[in-house]
């Protein structure tokens, strides 16, 4: 890709929605209020696994202020989507059962009934009056229990599963595994475990629903994908898409956790029953008990290398908790595990396993951090066995353009080696360590999504522009999309107003996730903007009375060429007031359906200090180096890099769900679920590498997900360096680290 000089892309303008957010004017999910609105609350199971024998709602219905009560019977039997309807990756029967239980509850917090009342306090009081008789069943609370020969089977009615609680198998393989390990001079083999963790978004799930007498439904909600909410709700309710309009609010974090639905169908039914709008907002305990975290995992991994450091074989087996219903991210984990390296002989096998925990949802590069934890730990062990620098070992084996990914495609231009070289030359890697400190390095990969996007660009009479897309803005995508429009039209980015449309006002757009928005929706914006530019040339040609070929558009102005050279250049500000006389308003739209958004690679460095007397670990320095393709807004790219690192550090050191013996969540809140805060972390240094992605007009590749992939291994490798102990189980909490140190000293 030829080097293009940019005027706006690569700069750092103030984000368009920044003022509203810092002043509190931004409208989030729970901020919607409608006349006559009722408040909804949900009755949730106190058991992890139980059969529902009877539900009596009469006392709740009799409470003054209660206007509607519903159970799973009101949603009807859980059914698959009709053939050809809805995305293949969603099992709509199971989605329906997750929204509200019918005959059986499958996790602590599973919804069993819902109430709408004039106040939230009355609704919650009514929930306590709903009588539910349960037959408690044995709970399956971890992978070992789920895989045991005598394990209770959570879904005996599902035929298309492997066996017991194993719902699916993923397999990637190449070469001859026996031959590969026979050629290895050093082989390392270990087992790894990671706990179930939550995305930890600040804003809880929230929606407001209004239904009309003619059957129309309006939904306002906090979501990463308004079209998914529309489609999923329509399928669960058995109605046509055109009867539902979804308006996304501002979103206070999602990280993949707001790509599905929990409340919306229940609110629709309560609204229908009561004839009034319904607002439903989860509290923090409900978020932890009943919305999707990511999987706990168990991994057995074996890696072989020659004496010169060349990797020759990998044998990896993963088991991942899907929660109560199938659908763990074990597939992406298998795709990503050894993706940074050339390994001629490998087998990567993954199993999707159900347990009595909340159904998992996506969490930023879903599955990849667990696979990287195992593989990057073993790469570190091989470097130690061979007395090689860990970066040099990775450089020796790093993939580059032309290599074939483990899951099939051939890599185009990628920047893994450049990130490793930048890490090797960074002052961080050369800085001395103090007593009880260790340094870790690890790489990460995410394939990045493309998918479907639409965009509309229209130019106003004063020469400013509006960009309307269907992607909620989580990490600064409004600014990134406006900048791409500004670059094409040639006007200051401050003159472009980016809007997030509802499902009635913009073409179908897949959700904000998969590191796809700046790449895919940005491509749609560029195409629509280029159509605008072509129309602007035509308008100038009309005014000048020359062929359109004699008009060039450059830097926001029509430039006369050849036969038009007697005319003076005309700016957009001068041209726009003449739209009415030259053909009317200029409104252009574009839609795209794109393959992968080009892989993203990242290398992390971590220095950690471990107190040998308490086992407490403190990250003292952290650097993240990432190939962004082209950083549209470097500040937001850096923010993604820092945010992913912070989440991964928390996952590595502290975060985990804790259940008691009966499967009850014991830490459903930020007080007891230990996420890192500002005082836990140093300033995270960032280095942006730009190896242009040839599938995007500007070279952009997704940046949101790769940063969370390496931290689990980076931190674990640093702890190994500081303590001499290799830990295979996360989190590396003080008690676990201290026990490891004491065991090593015995």
| pLDDT, tens only, 93-103 | 999 999 999 99
Q: Six-digit token pair at 502?
A: 């509802």
Q: Six-digit token pair at 400?
A: 């580059």
In terms of Cβ atoms closer than 10 Å to its own Cβ (0-12, 13-18, 19+), residue 635 is middle
Residue with tokens 């509006």: 466
**What is the rounded CA–CA span in Å between residue 325 and residue 599?**
29
- Using CA atoms, how far residue 584 sits from 341, 488, 579, 581, 588, in Å, is 55, 21, 5, 7, 12
Q: What is the pTM of this model?
A: 0.97
Nearest residue to 205 via CA among 163, 165, 161, 265: 265
In terms of Cβ atoms closer than 10 Å to its own Cβ (0-12, 13-18, 19+), residue 369 is buried
The reported pLDDT for the residue numbered 234 is 98
How many Cα atoms within 13 Å fall on the side-chain side of residue 395?
14
- CATH for 450-594 is 3.30.365.10
How long, in residues, is the chain?
746
**What is the rounded CA–CA span in Å between residue 555 and residue 542?**
20
The reported pLDDT for the residue numbered 563 is 76
Residue 96 DSSP class: H
The reported pLDDT for the residue numbered 4 is 85
Nearest residue to 379 via CA among 341, 415, 344: 341
The reported pLDDT for the residue numbered 210 is 98
**What is the rounded CA–CA span in Å between residue 659 and residue 666?**
5
The reported pLDDT for the residue numbered 1 is 47
Strand 496-500 to 206-211 pairing:
unpaired
Nearest residue to 604 via CA among 660, 645, 572, 553: 645
Strand 465-469 to 496-500 pairing:
parallel
Portions of the chain given CATH number 3.30.365.10: 297-399+412-448+596-745, 450-594
Low-confidence ranges of the chain (pLDDT < 70): 1-2
- Using CA atoms, how far residue 738 sits from 193, 657, 727, in Å, is 18, 21, 11
The reported pLDDT for the residue numbered 551 is 95
**What is the rounded CA–CA span in Å between residue 195 and residue 653?**
11
Ramachandran area for residue 109 (φ above 0: left; ψ -120 to 50: alpha; else beta): left
Portions of the chain given CATH number 3.90.1170.50: 29-137+204-251+258-290
Q: Report the C-alpha dihedral over residues 540, 544, 549, 550, rounded to 10 degrees.
A: -120
The reported pLDDT for the residue numbered 565 is 74
- CATH for 29-137+204-251+258-290 is 3.90.1170.50
**What is the rounded CA–CA span in Å between residue 90 and residue 303?**
34
Fold for 297-399+412-448+596-745, please state it: Aldehyde Oxidoreductase; domain 4 (3.30.365)
């Amino acid at each position: 890709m030829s080097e293009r000089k940019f005027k706006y892309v690569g700069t750092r303008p103030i984000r368009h929605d920044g003022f509203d957010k810092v002043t509190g004017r931004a409208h989030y999910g729970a901020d919607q209020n409608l006349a006559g609105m009722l408040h909804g609350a949900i009755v949730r199971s106190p058991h992890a696994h139980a059969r529902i024998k009877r539900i009596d709602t009469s006392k709740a219905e009799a409470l003054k202020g209660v206007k509607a009560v519903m159970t799973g019977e009101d949603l009807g039997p859980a059914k698959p989507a009709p053939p050809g309807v809805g995305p293949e990756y969603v099992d709509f029967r199971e989605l329906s059962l997750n929204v509200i239980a019918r005959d059986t509850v499958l996790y602590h917090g599973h919804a069993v009934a819902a109430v709408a009342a004039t106040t939230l306090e009355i609704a919650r009081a009514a929930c306590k009056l709903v009588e539910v008789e349960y037959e408690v069943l044995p709970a399956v609370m971890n992978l070992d229990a789920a895989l045991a020969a005598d394990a209770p089977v959570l879904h005996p009615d599902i035929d298309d599963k492997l066996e017991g609680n194993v719902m699916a198998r993923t397999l990637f393989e190449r070469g001859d595994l026996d031959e590969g390990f026979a050629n290895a001079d050093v082989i390392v083999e270990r087992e790894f475990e990671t706990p179930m963790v939550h995305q930890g978004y600040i804003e809880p799930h929230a929606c407001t629903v209004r239904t009309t007498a003619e059957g129309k439904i309006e939904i306002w909600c906090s979501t990463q994908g308004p079209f998914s909410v529309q489609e999923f709700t329509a399928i669960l309710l058995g109605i046509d898409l055109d009867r539902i309009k979804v308006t996304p609010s501002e979103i206070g974090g999602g990280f993949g956790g707001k790509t599905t639905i929990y409340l919306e169908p229940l609110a629709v039914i309560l609204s229908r029953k009561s004839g009034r709008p319904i607002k439903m907002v989860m509290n923090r305990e409900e978020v932890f008990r009943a919305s999707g975290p990511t999987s706990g995992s168990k991994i057995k991994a074996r890696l072989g290398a020659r004496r010169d450091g060349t990797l020759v074989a990998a044998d990896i087996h993963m088991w991942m908790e899907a929660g109560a219903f199938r659908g763990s991210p074990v597939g992406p984990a298998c795709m990503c595990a050894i993706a940074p390296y050339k390994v001629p002989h490998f087998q990567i096998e993954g199993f999707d396993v159900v347990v009595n925990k909340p159904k998992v949802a996506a969490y930023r590069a879903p599955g990849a951090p667990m696979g990287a934890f195992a593989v990057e730990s073993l790469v570190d062990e091989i470097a130690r066995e061979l007395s090689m620098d860990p970066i040099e070992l990775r450089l020796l084996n790093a993939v580059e353009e032309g290599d074939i990914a483990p899951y099939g495609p051939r890599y185009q231009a990628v920047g893994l080696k450049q990130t490793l070289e930048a890490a090797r030359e960074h002052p961080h890697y050369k800085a001395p360590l103090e007593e009880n400190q260790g340094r870790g390095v690890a790489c990460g990969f995410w394939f990045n999504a493309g998918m479907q996007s639409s965009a509309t660009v229209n130019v106003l009479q004063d020469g400013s522009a509006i960009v309307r897309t269907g992607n909620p803005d989580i990490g600064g995508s409004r600014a990134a999309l406006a900048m791409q429009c500004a670059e094409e039209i040639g006007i200051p980015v401050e003159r472009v107003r980016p809007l997030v449309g509802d499902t009635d006002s913009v073409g179908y757009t897949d959700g904000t996730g998969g590191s796809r928005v700046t790449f895919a929706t940005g491509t749609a914006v560029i195409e629509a903007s280029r159509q605008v530019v072509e129309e602007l040339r035509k308008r100038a040609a009309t005014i000048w009375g020359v062929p359109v070929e004699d008009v060039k558009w450059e830097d926001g102005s029509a430039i006369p060429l050849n036969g038009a050279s007697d005319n003076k250049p005309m700016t957009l500000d001068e041209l726009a007031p003449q739209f009415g006389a030259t053909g009317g308003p200029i409104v252009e739209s574009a839609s795209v359906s794109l393959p992968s958004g080009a892989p993203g690679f990242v290398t992390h460095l971590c220095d950690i200090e471990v107190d040998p007397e308490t086992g407490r670990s403190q990250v003292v320095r952290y650097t993240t180096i990432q190939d962004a393709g082209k950083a549209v807004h470097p500040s937001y790219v850096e923010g993604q890099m820092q945010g992913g690192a912070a989440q991964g550090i928390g996952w590595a050191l502290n975060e985990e769900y804790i259940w008691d013996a009966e499967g009850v969540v014991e830490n459903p809140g930020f007080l007891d679920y230990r996420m890192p805060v500002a005082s836990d972390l140093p300033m995270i240094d960032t280095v942006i590498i730009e190896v242009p992605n040839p599938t995007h007009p500007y070279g952009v590749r997704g940046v949101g997900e790769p940063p969370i992939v390496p931290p689990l291994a980076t931190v674990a490798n640093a702890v190994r360096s500081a303590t001499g102990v290799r830990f295979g189980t996360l989190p590396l909490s003080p008690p676990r680290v201290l026990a490891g140190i004491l065991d090593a000293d015995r």
